[in-house]
């Protein structure tokens, strides 16, 4: 690694970290830990496992924003999406295929979006918004290492049961992180 530019070394380390995170998440999966995202809120929170959702046929998506809002009993994370066709905005009826893994031991939520995602948001603004979160310690917007997918990570302040569902018009992935009712603080801290 002598002579390797620092930026390349940093990218290599980050890529290996992302691979390690996804390998760990997959190693722990059992059928009872696999869940399919709903099309509406159901109040069914999961503290350990993986959600899948979206449409595998969508092959061109723009991640417009990642935002948060505190609600009674949960913090809502919204991933705003827009379709693209030949580089132009194009409506999509639902999100592209995605996976969201939650690990209470690691205090981590890992999100991967497929569909050749392009990133169209202000990363500094997203990171700053999550610094105000009562349940998210940090958000890591990992470098895009593959053309077909992008992964990012939420480090949580405590146990973080989640509920995942999709909304349309416009397409959004919704992740509600359960908190102590009335306090907004994470469970299990």
In a domain, residue 10? The reply is yes
In a domain, residue 112? The reply is yes
Task: Say if residue 170's pLDDT is above 70.
Answer: yes
Contact 174, 78 (CB under 8 A): yes
Q: To the nearest 5 percent, what fractions of the chain are helix, strand and coil?
A: 15, 45, 40
**In the block, residue with structure tokens 């907004």:** 184
- Read off the pLDDT of each residue in 87-110 and give the average, rounded to a whole number: 91
Structure confidence at residue 27 (pLDDT): 44
Look up the pTM and report it.
0.81
User: Which helix (H) or strand (E) element contains residue 93?
Assistant: none
In a domain, residue 61? The reply is yes
Q: Categorize the per-residue pLDDT at 14 as very low, low, confident or very high, splitting at 50, 70 and 90.
A: low
In a domain, residue 110? The reply is yes
Domain count, the chain: 1
What pLDDT, in 10s, does the model give residues 17-45? 554 555 444 545 678 889 999 999 999 99
In a domain, residue 117? The reply is yes
| CATH number of the domain that residue 139 is part of | 2.60.40.3500
182 vs 145, which has greater pLDDT? Answer: 145
What count of residues does the chain have? 189
In a domain, residue 185? The reply is no
In a domain, residue 103? The reply is yes
Structure confidence at residue 89 (pLDDT): 80
Range of the domain at 166: 6-178
């Amino acid at each position: 690694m002598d002579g390797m530019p620092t930026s390349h070394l940093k990218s290599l380390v980050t890529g290996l970290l992302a691979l390690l995170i996804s390998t760990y998440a997959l190693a722990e999966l059992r059928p009872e830990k696999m869940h399919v995202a709903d099309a509406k809120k159901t109040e069914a929170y999961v503290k350990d496992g993986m959600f899948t959702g979206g449409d595998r046929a969508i092959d061109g998506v723009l991640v417009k924003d990642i935002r948060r809002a505190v609600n009674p009993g949960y913090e809502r994370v919204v991933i705003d999406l827009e379709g693209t066709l030949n580089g132009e905005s194009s409506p999509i009826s639902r999100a592209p295929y995605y996976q969201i893994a939650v690990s209470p031991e690691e205090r981590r939520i890992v999100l991967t979006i497929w569909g050749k995602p392009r990133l169209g948001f202000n990363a500094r603004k997203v990171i700053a918004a999550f610094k105000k979160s009562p349940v998210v310690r940090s958000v890591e917007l990992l470098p895009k290492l593959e053309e077909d997918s992008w992964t990012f990570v939420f480090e949580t302040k405590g146990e973080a049961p989640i509920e995942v569902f999709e909304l349309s018009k416009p397409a959004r992935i919704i992740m509600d992180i359960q908190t102590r009712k009335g306090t907004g603080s994470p469970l299990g801290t």
